[in-house]
Chains A and B, each alone.
Chain A
């Protein structure tokens, strides 16, 4: 349901600007993660460098969103759904910034891997990457469309990502024992796996904030038993 406009047009403009900046930040973060992971899969240092360069713009957007959010709180003292949207937008930007930091870490690790012969185990990262990115895109969609069901569904998908990471880590640790010459390479892949797992955690946070923004419901830190 589309809310009617505020009597104060400048309030609508400020909220729209905040939302646009969040969407832009989400788009840049998605691009940065894609570049970092393609840099890994395609052994492309340029893509890795671009991913690292994206971080600066994302950091600036985080500052801008925080500044705009505080200004809205100060000038318009929003309540109800407006308040929830502003608070969620500010929390979203913090999660996006941390995701972009994960992209930077992935890109740096990928560049290190690219200096050495190809490891087949890089492919262990692909299902994790696809799962984490799908969670990320859906969490942002849940926020944009105020889709409570989608937000809840994203939260439930985090466990599978954790499991994928556990399986990949176990395999990489086993490979380290058998192939100690490539120890650094396997270690870098373990760190990349951990970064993807963290991306899933941030997507979960975004999905939880999306549910709060849409329905004023705090679904954080609920065990499965409690949420069923």
Chain B
């Protein structure tokens, strides 16, 4: 048998230390006088789903908004500490927030397709705003994004219809497609299923599971069972502080901190 040179395989990665997309160090955020995030340090693993849980007002949404500088849209915001995305500090003076938000996409609690735009226009609006005019490229990216959002088969014949003509669950997947169209590295989701029925929720959860092969996903949820189902890591926040972060199975079977235990078992308050 003829000998064929095989390509040299790279050594296997050390699975005990997951690669990190974000490294957050000593992050504190103030809205005016109020400190919403208090000295948070954590790493967010790549190609994994990290769920942020905690009671209302604990800083969950502020934290994930800080990962793409979205919180800066709130007046009188002040930030201390560093947020490194793939090793690059997002808060350096010369970093353009618009570029950050392209690299780190976001899906919100309530689906928000642009009401005057069609389904197709909604998906590619980010690319158009970035100056892309090539119709063939836009059409390819449109189909690819809708397929990744598991929506293509349902809307491929109705791309000209208004985005708002879709059901709530479809609208949320449309927003995910819109976020994916600009090919971000990270997807942030702020309670993406809280306004959806169980079927639509299941579809989004399935989608999140599939997307994590390509993206790092950080999601905020009030639903403990959902956090248990979809996430690889869970972080518990309380009064702006990170109380505990760990593998989801560990957090939901044997959390280290008493406050985490009391919160997830429904003993809080």
Contacts and interface: CB of A to CB of B under 8 A. Distances in A.
Interface of A: 3-8, 11, 76-84, 215-216
Given A84-B253, A216-B253, A216-B254, A79 B267 contact: no
Contact of A3 (B224, B252, B255, B267): B267
Given A79-B228, A80-B261, A7 B253 contact: no
Contacts of B266: 6-8, 11, 76
A77 to B, nearest CB: 5
B265 A6 contact: yes
Interface in B217-269: 224-225, 228, 252-255, 260-262, 264-269
B264 A7 contact: no
9 contacts: A3-B265, A7-B267, A79-B228, A79-B264, A80-B264, A81-B254, A83-B252, A84-B254, A215-B254
Interface string B192-231: 0000000000000000000000000000000011001000
A96 B252 CA distance: 28
Interface of A is mostly: loop
A158 B261 CA distance: 33
B88 to A, nearest CB: 37
A95 to B, nearest CB: 21
Contacts of B265: 3, 6, 78-82
Interface of B: 224-225, 228, 252-255, 260-262, 264-269
Contact of B268 (A7, A78, A82, A83): A7
A5 B266 CA distance: 9
A80 B253 contact: yes
A6 B224 contact: no
A33 B72 CA distance: 70
Contacts of B268: 7
Most buried by A among B260, B262, B265: B265
A91 to B, nearest CB: 15
Interface of B is mostly: helix
B268 to A, nearest CB: 7
Contacts of B253: 79-80, 83-84, 216
A82 B268 CA distance: 14
A79 B224 contact: yes
Contacts of B261: 3, 80-81
A4 to B, nearest CB: 5
Given A77-B225, A80-B261, A81-B261, A7 B252 contact: no
A189 to B, nearest CB: 44
A80 B255 contact: yes
Contacts of B255: 80
B269 to A, nearest CB: 6
A78 B252 CA distance: 9
A136 B255 CA distance: 30
A7 B269 contact: yes
A11 B266 CA distance: 9
A79 B262 contact: no
A80 B269 contact: no
A4 B267 CA distance: 6
A79 B260 CA distance: 11
A4 B265 CA distance: 10
Given A79-B265, A80-B255, 20 more contacts: A3-B261, A3-B267, A4-B262, A6-B266, A7-B266, A7-B269, A8-B266, A77-B224, A79-B252, A79-B264, A80-B252, A80-B253, A80-B264, A81-B265, A82-B265, A83-B252, A83-B253, A84-B253, A216-B253, A216-B254
A76 B262 CA distance: 15
Nearest to B262: A4
Nearest to B258: A1
Nearest to A1: B258
Contacts of A80: 252-255, 260-261, 264-265
Nearest to A78: B265
A141 B33 CA distance: 53
A81 B255 CA distance: 9
Contacts of A4: 262, 267
Contacts of A215: 254
Contact of B267 (A5, A77, A83, A216): A5
A96 B215 CA distance: 49
